[in-house]
Structure 1
Amino acid sequence: MAKVKYYYDAETLSYRKIERKTGTTVKYSVMFLLASALFGFIFVFIASQYIQSPKERQLARELQNMELQYELLNRRMNEAFAALENVEERDNAIYRLYFEVNPIPQEQRRAGFGGINRYQKFEGFDNSKLIAETNKRLDILEKAIVVQSKSLDEIAVLAEDKEKFLTAIPAIQPVNNEELTRMASGYGYRTDPFTKVRKFHFGMDFTAPRGTPIYASGDGVVARADNSASGYGKHIRIDHGFGYVSLYAHLYKYNVRDNQRVKRGDLIGFVGSTGRS
């Protein structure tokens, strides 16, 4: 029940009842409600600025965790770049130098990507710069690894060719020293034993007992094993590749056939005195 209020009327010297108008009551009620609503809005606004909701706290934790993961990823990339740079340095300064091929310039190894902005899709997000920069470094690292991988493939081919080259070169004496009687004639000018004319001798003559084993001086393929060449008698030609061919002449007999592949040190024939010997 609402309280009844009175006021003292000095003219009548009596208390009179205060009459409250309906409009005034409504006015005060509306003003109170508006003030309450405004205060509530201000409180909610301030609270929203300083107090996070559970979902916002979860998103903040996820964002913090993502930043940590990107930081760890960048550290790992730094380690990967350091290891790659060590391989690149050895590639240029040792491997490519040994095989006499040009080093790969750093500009080619660390070349970026021209044209359109490859990282535009990362714009507009929180930490978009961090995400874009990390992806850019990943792309450069991936490309550098591809360049180095191709370089190592090239070096592997060169190494294989080098190995073939080294084993193909006629590098050993075809007759063992213990079987060798003497070196009859060397490479260069000499007096022909038959014509007595000074002329160039395109080989080396070894004197050894008949039947002494003759060995291939390098890897190759037997180009011919016959006695059809004038003056050589029974002879063997081995094509070693790389522009090298060796000839073994005046044999007693063969131990190989045409198109047979031989290795350095393989027995190919025996010393004889056929042809112009």
Structure 2
Amino acid sequence: MAKAKFYYDSDTLSYQPIEKNTKIVLRNTILYVFAIFLVGLIGFVAFSAILKSPSERATLKELNNLKFNYELLEKRMEESDAILQEIQQRDNNVYRVIFEAKPISDDERSAGFGGVNRYKNLDGFKNSELVKEATKKMDVLAKRLVIQSKSLDEIVKLAKNKSEMLASIPAIQPVANKDLKRMASGYGIRIHPIYKTRRMHWGMDFSAPQGTNIYATGDGVVKTAKKSRKGFGNHVVINHGFGYETTYGHMSTFYVRAGQKVKRGDLIGLVGSTGSSTAPHLHYEVKKGNQKLNPVYFYHNDLTPEEYEAMLVLSSQENQSLD
């Protein structure tokens, strides 16, 4: 039995028992229980935050590991990209220049990744953007590596054929210096001898006596050997390979046939004035791919520096061509 509690009443000068208030007791009890519950809830939340479940800990560890590996992958891709860029620069500016191969443009190296959503299957995941970005970078890097690999294969092939290429490139004059009267006209805008208008002259005119020897300027295969009364008249076209072709126009006659192999310096015909020509001469053109080039840049095998300098001066004069 609980002990009774008393208080001293100064009015009656006696001790009176303390009467219990039910409402107060109930209120105190509720507050006490609520305080205990609140403290317990706070403790549970704090405890749960500190001590996660095994599944949550495993998931968190996996996520942190994923982020770490992604950062590592990102760094390695950046390093690989820098190395690949260096190789691409050397490929375009050194290797392809040496072997006279066309540089590969940036558009060609990175083409093929626009338009269609290639990564739609990666949508809908918690880290979709992260995964998609990494996958895209890997795809672009892989594409550039494939293109560069093919380019290096081409360079290796060109290197193996270097001696053949050097022999094939047109590198001498088609008419020997001792047989030349003069350099009649060069590559560029010239006055047409018949129409008297300024037109593009796509080759060089070598003025020489009728019947002067004409030589193949590089190894190759005769593509065309045709007689005609128009245009270039009797003319020969030689395919030298490696994208090079040479044309020899206005011949009086030629000694080769289509499909015949020739070597640099072989006699292929004689100077004449057939077709649209106003005097005996050889009209000579050099073409690389689909572009006609100035032949004067290809006479490096049989001219001294002084002769080559004089040739440059003569070929640059804007005069009247002979065809």
TM-score by length of 2: 0.42
Looking at CA atoms only, which structure, 1 or 2, has the larger radius of gyration? 1
